[in-house]
Structure 1
Amino acid sequence: MPHAERGMRIGLFGGSFNPPHAGHRLVAEIARRRLGLDRVWWIVTPGNPLKDHGHLRPLAERLAAVRAVAEGPHMAVTAFEAAHRIRYSADTVDLLLLRRPAVRFVWIMGADSLASFHRWQDWRRIAASLPIAVVDRPGASLAALSAPMARFLDRSRVAERDAASLPFRDPPAWVFLHGPRSPASSTSIRTGSALTS
């Protein structure tokens, strides 16, 4: 688990990153800047329980690829979930809040992930445990904003102009962030049909 000082604002950006790409980097950078985060932790997961693992590259390979994409002093790359044998994001959140209670964590996800967030194990517990930042992705805006989580937490949505206050808000609280978007996706990169720059 990366180092964190008391009071730091840290974004948690989890995924299988199979492979990581410019779109991931853009999501992390938009969230970092707009939320005023000290760091973004890229949490490279052993594997997404909702996805087919047939094309999943080995964890060490994905870690190396993420380190190449997530360069810079404000980015940290970790695979602590594998060391702790964690399968679900809700358990990751529980562990982080237990180990780093004085850190202001924010969960970061692309809008494409929000559209299926209601299928995640204990998604309501995640939303009740820490603020969430959703970053727009090409073709995902409408599906994300009409998703079960967005409707369930409609009254907890923070205006985009107040995004910098999100790390200081008690959950549930979430914001939808707009900004530059990249057409890259891990699926299309694996099939050789995407722009990767």
Structure 2
Amino acid sequence: MGGSGQGANLPTWGDNRRSRVGLLGGSFNPGHRWHQAIARRALRELRLDQVWLMVSPGNPLKAGREMASFATRLATARQLADGRHVVATDLEARLGTRYTVDTLARLKARFPHVRFVWLMGADGLVTLPRWKHWRQLVQAVPLAVFPRPGQNVAALGGLAAHYLARWRVPARQAARLATLSPPAWAFLPGVQNSISATAIRQRGGFDATTDQPTTPQVI
């Protein structure tokens, strides 16, 4: 199994074996320790081969917000990746897709031997009903939901969770997610990281691996 840690190409496999890949999509504006922690936890608890940090060219739900350039956001994701098990990629830009449901359709067609799991925070589960064709999306890929401060009650009591209630998998069985036919999902309670991308931006600069202020760089 191989991949591009610099996000230059789509991650690929040469042996066509059935691999398990977690997809962590987002604006990465900037990427920060929560993304890294979730990637590492997903590798371990979901027994994944890789996690792809998919940097969105433009999130339709965040239109009009302060947004760094795509190159800058991809660079922060690269700081979090190791190029082997956690891979930062610009695949949505290369595929030309804007919505997650379309990205998933293209990925499943391109990598038919890969079992994908969509990774998201509780805040993502709250807003999921606003995503394009979200019911079709949850029929396409299992979901692993990770806690976020102040969002968990709303997430577990929200429209998406109610719709998916019959397909919820206990957290202790989350390692099965990649092998299950969707819809299937699990909420994985644990240590919560309150880091905010907005707060990092407001500090004027950042190091994605430490979330500490630094001298802004032109990338």
Q: Please indicate the TM-score interval, normalised by the length of the shorter structure.
A: over 0.9
**2:25 matched to which residue of 1?**
14
Q: Which stretch of structure 1 is more off in the superposition, 148-157 or 132-141? A: 132-141
Rounded to whole Å, the distance in 2 between the matches of 1:185 and 1:54 is 14
Q: Which stretch of structure 1 is more off in the superposition, 60-69 or 8-17? A: 60-69
5+ residue gaps, structure 2, are 1-9, 213-219
Equivalent of 1:2 in 4, 7, 11? 11
Rounded to whole Å, the distance in 2 between the matches of 1:69 and 1:128 is 30
**1:121 matched to which residue of 2?**
132
Aligned residues: 197
Q: CA deviation at 1:71?
A: 2.7
- Residues 95, 103 of structure 2: 8 Å contact kept: no
Rounded to whole Å, the distance in 2 between the matches of 1:156 and 1:78 is 30
- Residues 30, 179 of structure 1: 8 Å contact kept: no
5+ residue gaps, structure 1, are none
**Normalization by structure 2: what TM-score?**
0.85
- Residues 26, 181 of structure 1: 8 Å contact kept: no
Q: CA deviation at 1:73?
A: 2.7
Rounded to whole Å, the distance in 1 between the matches of 2:116 and 2:188 is 17
**1:196 matched to which residue of 2?**
211
Rounded to whole Å, the distance in 2 between the matches of 1:59 and 1:6 is 32
Counterparts of 1:1-197 in structure 2 under 5 Å? 1-4=10-13, 5-71=16-82, 73-192=84-203, 196=211
- Residues 31, 135 of structure 1: 8 Å contact kept: no
Q: Which stretch of structure 1 is more off in the superposition, 138-147 or 156-165? A: 138-147
Q: Which 4+ runs in 1 deviate beyond 4 A?
A: none
1:164 aligned counterpart, secondary structure: helix
Q: Deviations over 1:156-179 (max 9, x none)?
A: 000001010110000000000112
Rounded to whole Å, the distance in 1 between the matches of 2:39 and 2:128 is 18
- Name the aligned partner's letter for residue 3 of structure 1: T
Rounded to whole Å, the distance in 2 between the matches of 1:158 and 1:122 is 22
Q: CA deviation at 1:72?
A: 5.5
- Residues 30, 135 of structure 1: 8 Å contact kept: no
Rounded to whole Å, the distance in 1 between the matches of 2:153 and 2:83 is 32
1:149 aligned counterpart, secondary structure: helix
Percent of counterpart pairs with the same letter? 45
Rounded to whole Å, the distance in 2 between the matches of 1:73 and 1:24 is 16
Query: Which structure ranks higher in relative contact order (CA pairs < 8 Å, sequence separation ≥ 6)?
Result: 1
Rounded to whole Å, the distance in 2 between the matches of 1:111 and 1:175 is 11
2:145 aligned counterpart, secondary structure: strand
**Normalization by structure 1: what TM-score?**
0.94
Q: Deviations over 1:118-172 (max 9, x none)?
A: 1000111110011110011111110110121110010000000101011000000
Larger Rg over CA atoms: 2
Rounded to whole Å, the distance in 2 between the matches of 1:133 and 1:141 is 13
